[in-house]
Amino acid sequence: MKELVLTYVYVEGGIVVKKRLLLLASAMVMSLFLVACGGGDEEQAGTKEGLDITTSFSILGDIVGNVIGDRGTVEYIVPIGEEPHEYEPIPSDFQKVSDSDVFYINGLGLEEWLEKLVQNAGDIPVVTLSEGVTAIPLTNEDGDDPHIWLDVQNVILMVNNLVDDLVERDPDGEDTYRANAEAYIQELEELDAWIKAEMSTIAEDFRMIAISEDAFRYFGQAYGIDTAGIWEINSHEEGTPSQISGLVDKIQERNLPAVFVETTVDQRYMETVANNAGVEIAGEVYTDAVGQDGSGAETYIKMMEHNVNVFVNGLSQ
Ligand SMILES: [Zn+2]
C-alpha cells in the first residue's frame, strides 16, 4: 500500500475551502490514478516486445512463426489455396505490409507481385530469406526455380538467415530466437532424415513425380527422385496439347503407377494427363501453400509429411 496526499480546492458558499486528503491505495490503483491524471506517460513508448512480421506466403509464415514463437506476430499475404507466383495483392495487403516492422520473402522470383506491393506499402524493410541457397536454374527461361523450401535443408538455411536478421532487428529477443530456432532445426533435421528413409523405399523404376507444375526439383535432388511437370513454373503455365502429350510420354516410358496434383493448381490439366496415360491420380500434394485448418497439412512439417506419404503410397504399387 502507498500513501498519496491530495490537496484540492473548492468554493462553498462564497468561501474558498482548501482540503488535504490522504489516500491509501494499492500500487495498481495508484498507477490507474496516475494514468487518469496524465501522469503515466513514461510507460507506453518502447515497451512493445518483439516484431510485427509479414511474410509473402503461408509456408514462410509457418517457418517464421516457429522461430519467433510468442515474441511478436506473423501474417502472410497469399491466402491458403492460392498460388504465390501470380497473386494479385488487394488493398488490405498493402495495409498489412505497411503496418509491419519487416516483410520476409522467399525471393528467386517467386513473388512476381512484390514490386507493386512494396511500392504502395511505404518504407518497410524487405528481407530475402533464400540468400546463399544453391539455386536450380529454370531450363526454359532465364532465372532460377524458386521452390527451394521443398528441400528441408534449404529451410534450415532460411531459418539461419532469419535468426541473423531477427537478432539484428530485435537484440533483446536473441535468446528466444536462438532457442526456438535450435528446437525447430532439430525437428527439421528429423523430418529430412525421415523423408530420405521413406523415399528410398520406392522402387528405382517408379521414382518419378509427375505433376502439373514441375515444382519438386529441389525435393527430387535432395531425396533421389526424378520429376516432370506439364509446365515448368506456374507463372508460365499453359497446358498446351504438346506439353500434355510430353508428360504422358514420360509417364508411359517409366510405366508409372500414379501421378499427382497440387492443392493450388487447376486439376483439369492433370486429369487429362492421367486419362491419356491410363494412370490414377494418387492424391493431392502441397507445393506453394500449407493446408487449410483440419487438412492435416497446416504446417510446413505436416505438409511435407503428407506429401511424402502420398508419393510413397502412390508409387509403391
Ligand atoms: Zn509454384
- Chain segment 61-97, per-residue pLDDT in tens: 999 999 999 999 999 999 998 989 999 999 999 999 9
Grid cell listed for 75:
501474417
| Cα–ligand 1 centroid distance for 251 (angstroms) | 21
pLDDT given for residue 245 in this prediction = 97
Q: Please check whether residue 187 is in contact with residue 152, taking contact to mean a CB–CB distance below 8 angstroms.
A: no
Would you place residue 38 in the very low, low, confident or very high pLDDT band (cuts 50, 70, 90)? very low
pLDDT in tens, 285-301: 999 999 999 999 999 99
Q: Please tell me the distance between residue 233's alpha carbon and the centre of ligand 1 in angstroms.
A: 6
Residue 222 covered by a domain: yes
Position 47 scores a pLDDT of 61
Domain shared by 101 and 221, yes or no: no
Asked if the model's pLDDT at residue 132 lies above 50, the reply is: yes
User: One-letter amino acid identity for 250?
Assistant: K
Evaluate whether residue 42 is within a structural domain.
no
Q: What is the pLDDT of residue 121?
A: 79
Predicted TM-score (pTM) of the model is 0.84
242 with 301, same domain: the answer is yes
Ligand 1 mean position, distance from CA 33 (Å) = 56
Answer with the residue of higher pLDDT: 44 or 235: 235
- CB–CB of 290/59 below 8 Å? yes
CA of 91 to the centre of ligand 1 (A): 24
Task: Compute, in angstroms, the gap from residue 264 CA to the centroid of ligand 1.
Answer: 8
Residues 220 and 307 in one domain: yes
Tell me the CA–centroid distance for residue 288 and ligand 1, in Å. 5
- For 68-77, the pLDDT digits (tens) are 999 999 999 9
Same domain, 77 and 162: yes
Residues 118, 213 within the same domain: no
pLDDT over 70 (residue 310): yes
Please, what's the largest Cα pairwise distance for the chain?
107
Give the mean model confidence (pLDDT) for residues 108-115.
Answer: 92
Ligand 1 centre from 45 Cα, in Å?
42
Q: Which residue, among 291, 288, 256, has the nearest Cα to 274 in the 3D structure?
A: 256
What total number of domains does the chain contain?
3
Cα gap 8→105, rounded to integer Å: 59
pLDDT band at 10 (very low <50, low <70, confident <90, very high): very low
Same structural domain, 115 and 181: yes
Q: By C-alpha distance, which of 155, 162, 143 is closest to 236?
A: 143
Residue 161 lies in a domain: yes
What's the gap in Å between 86 CA and the centre of ligand 1?
10
- 184 and 269 assigned to the same domain: no
What pLDDT sits at residue 32?
Answer: 41
Query: Domain of 184?
Result: 51-190
Domain limit, last residue, from 136, 169, 190: 190
In the reported structure, the alpha carbon of residue 203 is separated from the centroid of ligand 1 by a whole-number distance in angstroms of: 27
**Structural domain ending residue among the three candidates 166, 190, 214:** 190
User: Strand pairing of 126-128 and 226-231?
Assistant: unpaired
Note the pLDDT of residue 118: 86
Q: Is residue 76 part of a domain?
A: yes
Ligand 1 center to residue 134 CA distance, Å? 18
Q: Identify whether residues 186 and 55 lie together within a single domain.
A: yes
What's 128's domain CATH number?
3.40.50.1980
Residue 193 CA from chain centroid, whole number: 22
Instruction: Name the grid cell of 260.
Output: 499427382
Q: 211: helix, coil or strand?
A: strand
Say how many Å lie between the CA of residue 39 and the centre of ligand 1: 55
Of 164, 190, 216, the residue at which a domain comes to its end is 190
Tell how far the Cα of 232 is from the centroid of ligand 1, in angstroms.
9
